Structures are given as structure tokens and as C-alpha cells.
Amino acid sequence: MTRPLLSVRDIHRSYTTTSGLIRRRVVASTKAVDGVSFDLFPGETVGLVGGSGSGKSTLARIIARLIEPDQGEVWFDGELLTEVSRDRMRLFRRDIQVVFQDPLHSLNPRRTVGESIARPLLNFGMPKRAALAKAESLMELVGLDPSATSRYPHEFSGGQCQRIAIARALAPEPRLLILDEPVSALDVSVQAQILNLLREIQGKLDIAYLFVSHDLGIVRYMCDRTLVMYRGQILESGLSNDIHKLPAHPFTRNFLDTILTMDGDERWLDAAAAIEDVEEERSDGGGCVYQGTCAHRLPHCRDKTPLLKSIDGSRSVACHLYAEETGFRPSDLNAKYEGAIPCKSKS
């Protein structure tokens, strides 16, 4: 079996709030990422999906080592990234590149787009003339006029700037591209163009994507597998089509219903309200992070944290509903949303 290109193991990251001018003291602590583990294989696209504040962007930045975890390990091609030196990590920058959400803010307004694309190559010692020539070829790869490398970012549209940002990320020929909400700041019509471009590039270059998004529909289109995050934890993982067609975790089911539909179905309004109106009932002692809102919660959901475990070979879910004694199945969960009688395992 192919060795994972990326392995993330038990990553934790918290942020603290302090008060006091002279004697600082911690008044609050928030777990942004809470024990996340997963693998990503060469040439694969894995989607990391969740609502605002779920921890997905923090996790992506930890993987790129833009920020450090409090605990856990990130392995890339068999080497432990979280312990390599700064100089050694600089070499890994060739292999791991990031495309950020806002293309205009990710490009230097004082540099031409050709200079921005060539900058990673110059940093690794490529002669300037060769770097600028490659910048032109990368402009062509992302569907832009190669002769436009002398222009500045403000002369391009948002979608064109994102193409330029993608070209810059591809310049050092990475093996992993982290896409952090790459189309959320763009118009819908432009989103489709960028997504199709990314798929076309992956087919040509055979690189792996970690695709971060809040939209399950986009993730289904782009990704082979999906990881669903909520309050710093992965609640469900599996093939993207399987999760979209038959979600297994109550949060995933509600989250899916927040996607606007074309048939006048307004269930998303109630689902969105349920996701936002989360009761802060979970203590540091444990319990399910979603139990405050979950309509299917069991008595021990309050104090026993569910582990992410396989339920059908290709799907893993962190939910007490799928204990062996309940006989619960994803179809039972989804029956509730089709008007059927809830199963007996629900409390």
C-alpha cells in the first residue's frame, strides 16, 4: 500500500485570553484544534469542511507550519515536520505551498505579478531571467496572458488574482497544495472557473490537495475524501459522495441542510439556526462537542467523548449512536429528516 504523503497525528492547539497590564493572567482558553488525526496520499484531494470557528484553517496553518501546535505530530513523506529545524523546514517549503482565501491581500501590490510568481524561485537560487521566464509559462498554465507579467495586482480582477496566486504556489513544483477557502471571496461564476482550473492542474501535475472549505457542495465536487470538523474535532470522515448522499453524524446532516437548494426547500433555515445556537454545556472533562444541540443525544453523550471509529469500512464517525448495541445506521439518522418515525435508540 502507498505510504501517506501527509500524516497528522493528535494535533492540539488552544488560544488563551489574558487580562491585566502588569500581572497577566489567563481568563479564558479556547480549543481551536482538539486531537485531530488523518492521512493524505499522493495525488489525492482531501476536503476539510466545517463552519466558521471549527478550526479547519488553524489546522491547515499548522500543517504548513505557519503556526506551531501545542501537541501532536505532522509527518510529511516520512519526516517529522514538527521537529525539523528552521533551515530544514525551508527546504520543505518547496513541497508544501498554500493558496489563501483573499487573492488581493496575498499578492504584494508593489510588485508586478511576474515578480510575485518568480519570488519563490529566486528564494531558492534560480537566476532571475530563468525565474521570470518560468513565471510566464505558469501564467499560461493558469489561463492568463503570459505577456501580462509586467502588470500589477490592482490591474486584474479577483478571479485573475487568484489564478496568479495559484501560479505562484505552483512555481516551486510542490507535492502538496493547501487551498484555504480558495474561492469563497469570488463570484459564483468565477468560483466554477477556478475549481475547474484546479482539477485540470491536478490532472497535469499529479499533486495532492488539502482543500479547506465551509461548503460541502464544493468539497463533494473537488475532493476524494471529506473530513467534517466541528469545534476543533473531526466528527465524520469518508468518501465525499457517501457523506453528501447519506451523512452519518447528526452535525453533518444539519450542516448539509444549510446548503441552499434550487427546489424551494427551506429546511436549511432551521438547520442553520440549530448550528449557530450551540449550548456551551461541554466541560473540559469530556462529552460530545455537539451534544448541546443534537436531537439524537444519548444520556452518556454529556460526559463521555465519542471516538472516531469505522462504521462501514470506508466511513468513520465520532458518535455514540453507532455503538454495537444500538444497531443504528446512517439511514436511520436520515429517515428523521424525511418525515419517518425516529428510531428507538434516540433519547
Three-state SS for the chain is CCCCCEEEEEEEEEEEEEECCCCCEEEEEEEEEEEEEEEECCCCEEEEECCCCCCHHHHHHHHCCCCCCCEEEEEECCEEHHHCCHHHHHHHCCCEEEECCCHHHHCCCCCCHHHHHHHHHHHCCCCHHHHHHHHHHHHHHCCCCHHHHHCCHHHCCHHHHHHHHHHHHHCCCCCEEEEECCCCCCCHHHHHHHHHHHHHHHHHHCCEEEEEECCHHHHHHHCCEEEEEECCEEEEEEEHHHHHHCCCCHHHHHHHCCCCCCCCCCHHHHHHHHHHCCCCCCECCECCCCCCCCCCCCHHHCCCCCCCEECCCCCEECCHHHCCCCCCCHHHHHHHHHCCCCCCCCC
Let me know whether 144 and 106 are in one domain. yes
Contact 296, 321 (CB under 8 A): yes
Which of residues 228, 263, 283 is at a domain's end?
Answer: 228
Q: Give the span between the Cα atoms of 99 and 168, in whole angstroms.
A: 9
The domain tally of the chain equals: 2
Q: Is the pLDDT of residue 256 over 90?
A: no
Q: Is the pLDDT of residue 272 over 70?
A: no
Rounded mean pLDDT of 302-308? 91
Asked if residue 344 is part of any domain, the answer here is: no
Q: Is the pLDDT of residue 235 over 90?
A: yes
Could you report the per-residue pLDDT of 83-99, keeping only the tens digit for each? 998 888 988 999 999 99
Least reliable range by pLDDT among 49-58, 199-208, 272-281: 272-281
Q: Give the span between the Cα atoms of 48 and 6, in whole angstroms.
A: 14
Q: Is the pLDDT of residue 233 over 90?
A: yes
Rounded mean pLDDT of 305-327? 89
The pLDDT of residue 342 is: 38
Let me know whether 201 and 55 are in one domain. yes
Asked if residue 39 is part of any domain, the answer here is: yes
Q: Is the pLDDT of residue 264 over 50?
A: no
Let me know whether 108 and 11 are in one domain. yes
The pLDDT of residue 277 is: 42
Question: What are the residues whose beta carbons fall under 8 Å from the beta carbon of 273, sequence distance 6 or more?
Answer: none
Residue bearing the bigger pLDDT, 22 or 331 = 331
Contact 243, 250 (CB under 8 A): no
Residue bearing the bigger pLDDT, 267 or 248 = 248
Let me know whether 137 and 282 are in one domain. no
What letter represents residue 180's amino acid? Answer: D
End-to-end Cα distance, the chain? 42
Q: Give the span between the Cα atoms of 30 and 169, in whole angstroms.
A: 31
Q: Is the pLDDT of residue 276 over 50?
A: no
The pLDDT of residue 336 is: 60
Q: Give the span between the Cα atoms of 33 and 81, in whole angstroms.
A: 18
Q: Indicate the average pLDDT of the chain.
A: 86
Asked if residue 15 is part of any domain, the answer here is: yes
The pLDDT of residue 212 is: 96
Q: Is the pLDDT of residue 185 over 90?
A: no
The pLDDT of residue 86 is: 87
The pLDDT of residue 8 is: 97
Q: Is the pLDDT of residue 146 over 60?
A: yes
Q: Is the pLDDT of residue 238 over 90?
A: yes
Confidence tier at 1 by pLDDT (50, 70, 90)? low
Asked if residue 237 is part of any domain, the answer here is: no
Let me know whether 220 and 268 are in one domain. no
Rounded mean pLDDT of 17-30? 76
Let me know whether 134 and 88 are in one domain. yes
Rounded mean pLDDT of 142-149? 95
Residue bearing the bigger pLDDT, 182 or 340 = 182
Rounded mean pLDDT of 273-280? 43
| Burial class of residue 48 (count of CB atoms within 10 Å of its CB; 0-12, 13-18, 19+) | buried
The pLDDT of residue 341 is: 36
How far, CA to CA in Å, does 220 sit from each of 238, 244, 257, 271, 290? Answer: 11, 7, 14, 20, 23
Which of residues 169, 194, 228 is at a domain's end?
Answer: 228
Asked if residue 343 is part of any domain, the answer here is: no
CATH of the domain at 203: 3.40.50.300
Q: Provide the percentage of residues in the chain whose pLDDT is more than 70.
A: 88
Let me know whether 254 and 164 are in one domain. no
Let me know whether 41 and 116 are in one domain. yes
Asked if residue 236 is part of any domain, the answer here is: no
Which grid coordinates belong to 93? 517549503
Decide the pairing of beta strands 71-76 and 79-80: antiparallel
The pLDDT of residue 22 is: 75
Asked if residue 241 is part of any domain, the answer here is: no
Let me know whether 188 and 329 are in one domain. no
Question: What are the residues whose beta carbons fall under 8 Å from the beta carbon of 132, sequence distance 6 or more?
Answer: 114, 115, 118, 149
Residue range(s) defining the domain that contains residue 88: 6-228
Contact 43, 69 (CB under 8 A): no
Which of residues 176, 201, 228 is at a domain's end?
Answer: 228
Let me know whether 268 and 209 are in one domain. no
Let me know whether 121 and 254 are in one domain. no
Let me know whether 201 and 263 are in one domain. no
**Looking at the DSSP assignment, which residues form a beta bridge with residue 40?**
6
The pLDDT of residue 330 is: 87
Contact 229, 235 (CB under 8 A): yes
Asked if residue 218 is part of any domain, the answer here is: yes
